[in-house]
Structure 1
């Protein structure tokens, strides 16, 4: 591995790897195609030349609109834009016209590289699937302190905000002497383009030992088959995907999952009961729950599943910091407060929004938007999102803890708890559950089950059964949308 005296940029990492391992596969879209480091570099240089001819210059922002089947083209376009000193702004291919217009207008995008015609926007360029067409070459204009990407938050509690990250932030840790995940020849994931988790996978394709494999469309059956077909040693999912995979196992679908040595869950807290079931379904794997945010990355906590601490998301890793505060005062162990993390890399910020940035980013610390507590050993436990704190009667409750208890019931495949207006209590708790297979579960039966696990004020007074919970592209339950659907 090439060691850099200063933080490298994404294009320079690709150039280094294409020189040392040009024929090694970097990215694979299952059933679609693959991209070697050498081909990735050639195509990125070629597309950069074409974009430069269209006027893309250092400091510009360029939208990238690709779907899951277009991961290879997306990887090429992202590096091509960054090679010109511009920032890549991924936009989901299924974004409605209003969201697309908001993202491109908010960041002042000078153009859009896309796989098809974008609805509601007319200033873009179509990026043909990479044929390596000749185009005038040019220098790599990326700099370590230059803007590398802008990722738009999921917008579950407010309008999406653009989180800007420099190359030094995105490539943090690239100088390590050993490539990550050396136990694997293939790393499998199905994260949506535009999410922070997907960007981490893109960096894994550049930096890690295994080739990074993804799917043109996630279904639990396809994902299980891909694990077996690629003998994936490392697998990354969001909790919703994990629950669907477990449903496959429960149905008796026969897939060889023995190759998996590490199963990582990201984007949302992994309920302890789900982690326990994953440990049984993947007997050779360590189940790890990762906690971060688009704003805080690369700061994160990690927690290998521990039956003694099933609800914890772990302790900081890779040089990051953690604190829980209440009105600026550090909280004692077990005391609930706002969760902050310190990034070991140059901090991110909200693009073009200095006022909001000042409240969320302070001296290298980032407010996570969650409330929680740490125990005496420094392990972090999340209670709730800041914006979703539920106080019913005189009690402040943790919907995450209630959801974990509901997940212990064998009939429950998925669950969410929200607060709804109540004339007397102010807020009453409502549980929304998805049942597995042909299972049945009545509200009185669920409440009786929870009576041995929760305090009386934590037991939901309302129980609704649905076919599927609404989730955003990052895999988190959209509780605002869920509330609107409840009677």
Structure 2
């Protein structure tokens, strides 16, 4: 069974002098990054931290932070991803809730770390890193003359490698414990989905945070001796420029960023011919906007479905599956998230039984891809892992050809007047309007129906549409009971660091101050 670091080490072996990471003018070869990660591991062990110790890494999108993560894994330790956009109090709560032992923080986030430390406690191990790290000794001084070869350490493939906070889009984050074994299946699926010739290794653009899917996807690139180009943030013009400058072959982006790429006035003038995989995930994508993306980018769009409990590799809809007879499909397949991949079992289940094709129920997953459980939360673990299946909380169906479709999150279903309405179905209609950039459909309190359907809409720059027009559009497509009763317009919807619209925050804005929330 593969350890997570084995993927990087394969690239290190076959291409030691090749560039492993680049950010701006700074590059790291495989040999430089590999040796540095080994030295970090040795220093941690020499300082008395045993395997299984838990460390947060608080950093912007930065290869140095990712190299520290590799060092933690080499020492048999556990990574706690930390979102630099989160408030200090939230970071402190996560760190203490996961019983963290120490934090590596980027010098650009020193103030945030100081505020976080006030909440988390002053006795924890901490170390700053970064190109202009001032003050007390930083990473280089701490590493000192530590050995730069791989530690001789036996690591159990079933040991925990990371505790990922859940997205928190439907409730308080929990700590998902993934192992070397579960991540190995993720990488096996990624390597099956995104294929390259040995003499043409991938060039991965990490525009989304390395602390989430982009970091994990980068390891599949490293396994092939490829290059990872790191951007500070997912800014559309910077993404397009990086694809041109570095001949990028693959990039993962949430749908909302792809929408913004489509709005770039010079998009069709860009040379994007190197791109082979434009991977979208993290949230449902508008089918209408997907068709537009296919017409602009060509056969490169690839959907990946997963969640931190079954990381990033349950199913894939590959580029060719978006097309039929050379044109984007019109038979509903574009709403699918593809077919499950070989090393996982997926069924649609309800009340302990497996449903037939095209019957709607909860998407359930089993196999080595699935998490070990939620850290320190046996009740939530027992609820999620029942009868040998991970109950994803996603509602959907599988068609007669084995393609998986997600209707919505079970917790996002709006019950209005006793009738179930799935927000994503309504959002698909709203997204189809040319003026709509993005939207969130939620249930707001209603004295008679319990909840009423409300659409919160973000418009494209320079475009307009009335609330009544959007309501009529939904009535025409879905019928009256599924149409929003109100439409509210906002400049910006709340989003996670990964670009996912935080429906929970939108919904809470309507229920704040009330005794009930349903």
What TM-score does the superposition give when structure 1 sets the normalisation length?
0.90
Tell me which residue corresponds to 2:146: 135
- Of 196, 203, 206, the match for 1:186: 203
2:295 maps to 280
The corresponding residue for 1:3 is none
The partner residue of 2:239 within 219, 223, 229 is: 223
Q: Which residue of 1 aligns with 2:217?
A: 201
Q: Which residue of 1 aligns with 2:310?
A: 296
Cα pair distance change 1:218/1:176, threshold 3 Å: closer
1:268 to 283, 286, 300: 283
1:147 to 146, 160, 166: 160
Structure 2 CA distance, aligned partners of 1:290 and 1:176? Answer: 10
Change (3 A) 1:184 1:271: farther
Structure 2 match to 1:426: 450
Cα distance, 1:59 vs structure 2:
1.6
Partner SS, residue 332 of structure 1:
coil
Query: Are residue 366 (structure 1) and residue 390 (structure 2) matched?
Result: yes
Counterpart for residue 259 of structure 1: 274
Aligned equivalents of 2:154, 2:59: Cα separation in 1: 24
Distance 1:176 1:379, change over 3 A: closer
Please name the residue that 1:66 is paired with: 59
Q: Pairwise CA RMSD of aligned residues? A: 2.5
Counterparts of 2:311 and 2:189, CA distance in 1: 18
Q: Is the 8 A contact 1:168 1:346 kept in 2?
A: no
Distance across 1 between alignment mates of 2:387 and 2:306: 18
In structure 1, what is the equivalent of residue 35 of structure 2?
42
1:133 Cα deviation from its structure 2 partner = 4.6
Please identify, of 215-224 and 360-369, the stretch whose mean Cα deviation from structure 2 is larger: 360-369
Instruction: Evaluate the alpha carbon distance shift between residue 383 and residue 185 of structure 1 in structure 2; reply closer, same or farther with a 3 A threshold.
Output: closer
Matches within 5 A, 1:279-428: 279-283=294-298, 285-297=299-311, 299-304=313-318, 305=322, 306-308=329-331, 309-345=333-369, 347-362=371-386, 364-428=388-452
Q: Is 1:159 equivalent to 2:155 in the alignment? A: no
Are 1:81 and 2:72 an aligned pair? yes
Offset from partner CA, 1:170-210 (integer Å, 9 cap, x none): 22376799785426641223222432x13422322432453
Unaligned residue ranges in structure 1 (runs of 5+) = 1-6
CA distance in 2, matches of 1:246, 1:58: 46
Name whichever of 314-323 and 203-212 sits farther off.
203-212
- The secondary structure found in structure 2 opposite 1:463 is strand
| Cα pair 1:269 1:291 within 8 Å, conserved | no
| CA–CA separation in structure 2 for the residues paired with 1:316 and 1:110 | 37
Residue aligning to 1:4 = none
The alpha-carbon distance between structure 1 residues 144 and 339, as it changes in their structure 2 partners (threshold 3 A), is same
* Matches of 1:351 and 1:479, distance apart in 2: 25
* Partner residue, 2:484: 460
Q: CA deviation at 1:339?
A: 1.3
CA–CA separation in structure 2 for the residues paired with 1:148 and 1:382 = 29
C-alpha contact 1:421 1:427 (8 A) present in aligned 2: yes
Is 1:19 equivalent to 2:13 in the alignment? yes
Report the secondary structure of 2:271's partner residue.
Answer: coil
User: How far 1:391 moved relative to its partner?
Assistant: 1.7
- Most deviating of 232-241 and 127-136: 127-136
- Residue from 104, 107, 114 that aligns with 1:113: 104
Q: Structure 1 residues 465, 175: CA separation in 2 closer, same or farther (over 3 Å shift)?
A: closer
Contact kept in structure 1, 2:255 and 2:281, CA below 8 Å: yes
SS at match of 1:248: coil
Distance in 1, matches of 2:85 and 2:252, equals: 22
User: Once structures 1 and 2 are overlaid, which stretch shifts more, 180-189 or 52-61?
Assistant: 180-189
1:90 is paired with a residue whose SS is strand
TM-score between the two structures when normalised by the length of structure 2: 0.85
The answer to whether the 8 A contact 1:61-1:89 is kept is yes
In structure 2, relative to structure 1, the CA distance for the partners of 1:255 and 1:38 (3 Å cut) is same
Alpha-carbon spacing, 1:44–1:435, altered in 2? closer, same or farther (3 Å):
same
Take 1:156 and 1:9, find their aligned partners in 2: how far apart are those partners? 30
SS at match of 2:334: coil
Instruction: Give the corresponding residue for 1:99.
Output: 90
Determine the C-alpha separation between the residues in 2 that align with 1:367 and 1:15.
34
- In structure 1, which of residues 242, 261, 264 is the aligned counterpart of residue 258 of structure 2? 242
CA distance 1:44–1:363, shift in 2 (3 Å): farther
Q: Using a 3 Å threshold, how does the CA distance of structure 1 residues 205 and 65 change in structure 2: closer, same or farther?
A: farther
Q: Quote how far apart the aligned CAs of 1:344 are.
A: 4.1
* 1:319 to partner: Cα distance: 2.1
